[in-house]
Each structure stands twice: as structure tokens, then as C-alpha cells.
């Protein structure tokens, strides 16, 4: 009878060991699947982040180009205003001449005449 009990116990232990091995293998597979899923998601996020950064970089470059163009246009406008407007000032010169400064160049006008209509 003791051999029978030993055989039953040995069979139970063997089945338990097989079930435990199967559970361990199942957990290892699930861990691998989870790790693979995590790696894939991290790769997707990294790709989206890289695309977002590239788009941001392009937009920043475009903003810098537009700012440079706007600054150039503003400088050109100031130059045009300076040329068109000039600076006129009546100097208390002994001869009573009107001095006009246009783009840094000074001009003197000694005679004045009314414009003809």
C-alpha cells in the first residue's frame, strides 16, 4: 500500500510541477508580449515626438524668416520716409535761408516763390 501512496504522491508532484512549469512559461510569454507592446508604443511615441519637433523647427524657421523680412521692410519704410519727408528747419541764418536735410544731405534754399496754380 505504501508503494501505491508513493506512486500517487509522485504522480501528483509531477502533475503539479508540470502545471507550475506551464504557468511559468505562460507568465514569461505574457511578459515578453507586454515588453514588446511597450517597446512598440515607445517607438510610436518617439516617432510622433520627432515629427512634432521637426514641424516645430520648420515653424520656428519660418517665423524667423518672416521676422527678418518684416524688419527689412520696416527699415526700408523708415528710409523711404526719411527720403520723402526730409527734415526742414528754418535756421536763423543771417541770409534767412531754409535748410532741408534729406537722407543726411543738407540743402539750402535762399529764394522762395509761390507755386503756380
Higher pLDDT, 82 or 54: 54
pTM of the model: 0.47
> What is the C-alpha to C-alpha distance for residues 31 and 62, in angstroms, rounded to an integer?
46
pLDDT of 94 reads 62
* Three-class secondary structure of residue 47 per DSSP: helix
pLDDT at 89 over 60: no
Contact (Cβ atoms closer than 8 angstroms) between residue 87 and residue 102: yes
The tens digit of pLDDT for each residue in 12-60 reads: 999 999 999 999 999 999 999 999 999 999 999 999 999 999 999 999 9
Domain extents for the chain? 2-85, 86-117
Q: Sign of the CA dihedral 37, 41, 42, 47? A: positive
DSSP string, 51-77: HHHHHHHHHHHHHHHHHHHHHHHHHHH
Q: Is the per-residue pLDDT at 76 higher than 70?
A: yes
pLDDT of 105 strictly over 90: no
Amino acid at each position: 500500500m505504501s508503494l501505491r501512496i508513493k506512486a500517487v504522491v509522485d504522480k501528483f508532484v509531477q502533475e503539479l510541477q508540470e502545471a507550475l512549469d506551464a504557468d511559468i512559461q505562460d507568465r514569461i510569454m505574457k511578459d515578453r508580449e507586454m515588453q514588446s507592446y511597450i517597446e512598440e508604443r515607445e517607438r510610436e511615441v518617439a516617432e510622433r515626438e520627432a515629427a512634432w519637433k521637426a514641424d516645430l523647427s520648420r515653424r520656428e524657421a519660418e517665423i524667423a524668416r518672416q521676422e527678418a523680412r518684416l524688419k527689412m521692410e520696416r527699415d526700408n519704410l523708415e528710409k523711404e520716409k526719411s527720403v520723402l519727408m526730409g527734415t526742414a528747419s528754418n535756421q536763423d541764418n543771417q541770409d534767412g535761408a531754409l535748410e532741408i536735410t534729406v537722407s543726411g544731405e543738407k540743402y539750402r534754399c535762399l529764394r522762395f516763390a509761390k507755386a503756380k496754380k
